[in-house]
Amino acid sequence: RPRVLSGIQPTADSFHLGNYLGAVRNWVAMQETHDTFYCVVDLHAITAGHDPEVLRQRTRVSAAQLLAAGLDPDRCTLFVQSQVPEHSQLAWVLSCITGFGEASRMTQFKDKSAKQGADRSSVGLFTYPILQAADILLYQADAVPVGEDQRQHLELTRDLAHRFNTRFGKAFTVPAPYIVKETAKITDLQDPTAKMSKSASSPAGIIELLDDPARSAKKIRSAVTDTGREIVFDAEHKPGISNLLTIYAALSGRTIDDLVVAYDGKGYGDLKKDLAEVVVEFVRPIQERTRAYLDDPAQLDKMLAIGADKAGAVASVTLRTTYERVGFLAPA
């Protein structure tokens, strides 16, 4: 089976619909066809300032949500990044073959550091994509299911794998991004030209999986739509209604064409009202299951420890090869 690795940051109280439709939904599906490794990337979550107790809680809530969304510890390896020390160890080696200019061109870093100011941006924020490359390369991943916003980081990962292999001898599989076009960029409900984002969206623009369902329904009903009244899919000229159609299709399993036909002659309000119900029905069971996992944190931690053991067994083999190729003495 081809190998998969992907990760998600525990930087909010809840994942949002963009995370789910752009990434997590595909993680769940790939358990059937791939050898899958999924991690909650807590090392990445300390790059922009955080509170330790909040991080600890969010890490557990993240794992619980992933399980609630359909990850099955018997069919995938689910773990927390900091519990597998090889991630940090490989990141150092990779940072030494990454150009300073090359890292400076990462648009996510440029955006975030421009917002925070250079003096308030950490070096960790700068080297973030290198740690992400380490996450992926340690597992010899063939495919990395992510949303569109991760494409450039994946390109860097591929460059680093190739560079290392050429310079020191083959140690890494060169991974391919796995980006499902239809749902790769879910947009902000209040600003449908921008992506739905934990850090950038206003509360009204983002649907959080763990939010009060009534509030989520209201956000869908007050989503910004476009001028005109026709329900058609046209991401360029009608980004608002197109985003709602994308979400509706993905959550209901109906096709966009099918929805367009079904809403022929009806108004935006009708579609929003129905989609609001679909969203409520979708989040309700996820919330129930998340709560159930969080009711027993000791059991959850145990599950994650088993995941870290399984992940570590793979990661340590890659790290050993890498260290040997670079010229480090074998461990005593």
Q: Which residues are catalytic?
A: 112, 195, 198
Q: Which stretch binds ligand TYM (CB under 6 A): 57-65, 129-137, 163-171, 232-240?
A: 129-137
The reply on whether position 146 binds ligand TYM by CB under 6 A is: yes
Q: Which stretch binds ligand TYM (CB under 6 A): 3-11, 215-223, 238-246, 257-265?
A: 3-11
Is 230 annotated to bind a ligand? Reply is no
Give me the least distance between CB of 105 and ligand TYM, in Å please: 16
Q: What secondary structure, in 3-state letters, does the chain show?
A: CCEEEEEECCCCCCCEHHHHHHHHHHHHHHCCCCEEEEEECCCHHHCCCCCHHHHHHHHHHHHHHHHHHCCCCCCEEEEEHHHCCHHHHHHHHHHCCCCHHHHHCCHHHHHHHHHHCHHHCCHHHHHHHHHHHHHHHCCCCCEEECCHHHHHHHHHHHHHHHHHHHHHCCCCCCCEEECCHHHCCCECCCCCCCECCCCCCCHHHCCECCCCHHHHHHHHHCCCCCCCCCCCCECCCEHHHHHHHHHHHHHHCCCHHHHHHHCCCCCHHHHHHHHHHHHHHHHHHHHHHHHHHHCCHHHHHHHHHHHHHHHHHHHHHHHHHHHHHHCCCCCC
Is 316 annotated to bind a ligand? Reply is no
Is 302 annotated to bind a ligand? Reply is no
The reply on whether position 7 binds ligand TYM by CB under 6 A is: yes
Nearer to ligand TYM, 61 or 263 (CB): 61
Binds ligand TYM (CB under 6 A): choice among 4, 9, 172, 315 = 9
Is 272 annotated to bind a ligand? Reply is no
Is 11 annotated to bind a ligand? Reply is yes
Give me the least distance between CB of 139 and ligand TYM, in Å please: 9
Binds ligand TYM (CB under 6 A): choice among 23, 64, 171, 217 = 23
The reply on whether position 22 binds ligand TYM by CB under 6 A is: yes
Give me the least distance between CB of 17 and ligand TYM, in Å please: 8
Which residues, other chains included, contact 211 with Cβ-Cβ below 8 Å and sequence gap of 6+? Answer: 14, 283
The reply on whether position 48 binds ligand TYM by CB under 6 A is: no
Binds ligand TYM (CB under 6 A): choice among 30, 68, 143, 144 = 144
Give me the least distance between CB of 42 and ligand TYM, in Å please: 10
Q: Which residues bind ligand TYM (CB under 6 A)?
A: 5-9, 18-19, 22-23, 41, 44, 132, 135-136, 144, 146-147, 149-150, 153, 184-186, 195-196
Annotated binding site for L-tryptophan: 135
